Chain A
Amino acid sequence: MNPTNQIQITLTDVLDRLLDKGLIVNADIVISVAGIPLVGVVLRAAVAGMETMLAYGMMENWDKSTRLLASEPSKGKATASRISP
């Protein structure tokens, strides 16, 4: 299997990375006019109407615990708890 190239990447793929990730700049020199996080939220809400892919939530609880485990290097291995279907 080869990775999908740039042309087939969806807006959701781009949103996932551009709104939540990337290099951090200390807050006191970056303006956040109405708040960059706010822009993120508003944008997500606006785009969600059209992009059903953006409807989060199905595996939220399970996802949270997994993320927590994955972010704790001391525990090393992620053990997923039960999902709520």
Chain B
Amino acid sequence: METSKSWKSPPDGEGRYLYCVAESRGEQNLGDIGMAGNGVYTISCMGLAAVVHDCHGEVFEYGDKDGMKACLLDHQRVVQIAAERFGTVLPLGFGKIITGDEHKKPEEKVADWLKSSFKDLEIKLKKVEGKAEYGVQVFWDVSSVTDRIMDEVPHIRALREEIKTKKAGTAFLYEEKLKKEIRLCLEDAAARHYRTFYEKIKDVAEDVRVDKCHRTSDDGKMLLNVSCLLNDRQVESLGEMLDDITGQEGFSVRYTGPWPPYSFV
């Protein structure tokens, strides 16, 4: 837990909720587009602008689950709108608030942060300029792959034939062995496919981050989950490459984006 030791509750309890950072000069008003209808505007320093709304320290008061979900989607929407307006943005994760203290107002602290991080922010802006983040998730239908293994892998086929000649008790042991062999084949196949897909994606993309796989119900088992930094040309190339994957029996792909570059800042 990163609880700040130095922070004391400022007299007015005020803070600035941060959405993203962009290149822009002067304070700009983006309207009441923030979470819970808050007014969103920019605080700028040295040509960089933080996109913020005013809050009272505690932003996570939107009660129930639906309220919190709405906040998350609002955060994403504001970053998206800011990106349309300012071009390249560096998005922040959810729930980042800069507060004032007895010496400085929150907006001064935000400006100080922009100033002290100027070089780092400029480098990051340069890196993601003209590019966007895209999500790629590859799923495979384990049962159809298993069927194929049963039919195509020689030693598994032989084992299945052999089981037919055994009496029930022995057959039981053989079946257990068969299950284990199939599992090993599946694991090998997963590792092999993962490596192939990952390498192909890496060749096309500017940069790749590997994300955690989720357990899924509808689309089969998730085999690979990555975020890619792509320029416009690469979006098309990656799409074509993913078509090749979906063309293979038992595989499906989710390709999402463009996202603000959350994974590359």
Contacts and interface: CB of A to CB of B under 8 A. Distances in A.
B97 A31 contact: yes
Contacts of A81: 191
A20 B265 CA distance: 12
Contact of B4 (A31, A34, A39, A52): A31
A15 B65 CA distance: 13
Interface in A3-22: 3-4, 6, 8-9, 11-22
Contact of B190 (A23, A30, A71, A80): A80
B263 A21 contact: yes
Contact of A14 (B72, B124, B214, B216): B72
Contacts of B2: 27, 30, 32, 35-37
B190 A83 contact: yes
Interface in A28-48: 28-40, 43, 46-47
A37 B192 CA distance: 35
A34 B73 CA distance: 21
Given A25-B113, A31-B97, A36-B96, A18 B262 contact: yes
A3 B6 CA distance: 45
A58 B257 CA distance: 25
A80 B191 contact: yes
B1 A3 contact: no
A53 B200 CA distance: 26
B239 interface: yes
B135 A22 contact: no
B34 to A, nearest CB: 15
Interface in B217-265: 217, 221-222, 227, 235, 239-240, 242-243, 246, 253-259, 262-263, 265
B12 interface: no
B6 to A, nearest CB: 6
A13 B183 CA distance: 30
B95 interface: yes
A50 B214 contact: no
B187 interface: yes
Nearest to A84: B187
A12 B80 CA distance: 17
Contacts of B124: 23
B3 A35 contact: yes
B131 interface: no
Interface of B: 1-4, 6-7, 15, 18, 20-21, 57-58, 60, 65, 68-69, 72-73, 75-76, 80, 90-99, 109, 112-113, 124, 133-135, 183, 186-188, 190-191, 194-195, 198-199, 208-217, 221-222, 227, 235, 239-240, 242-243, 246, 253-259, 262-263, 265
22 contacts: A3-B255, A3-B258, A4-B254, A4-B255, A17-B227, A17-B259, A22-B92, A22-B94, A25-B113, A28-B6, A31-B15, A34-B60, A35-B1, A35-B2, A36-B2, A36-B93, A40-B95, A43-B72, A56-B212, A77-B195, A78-B198, A85-B187
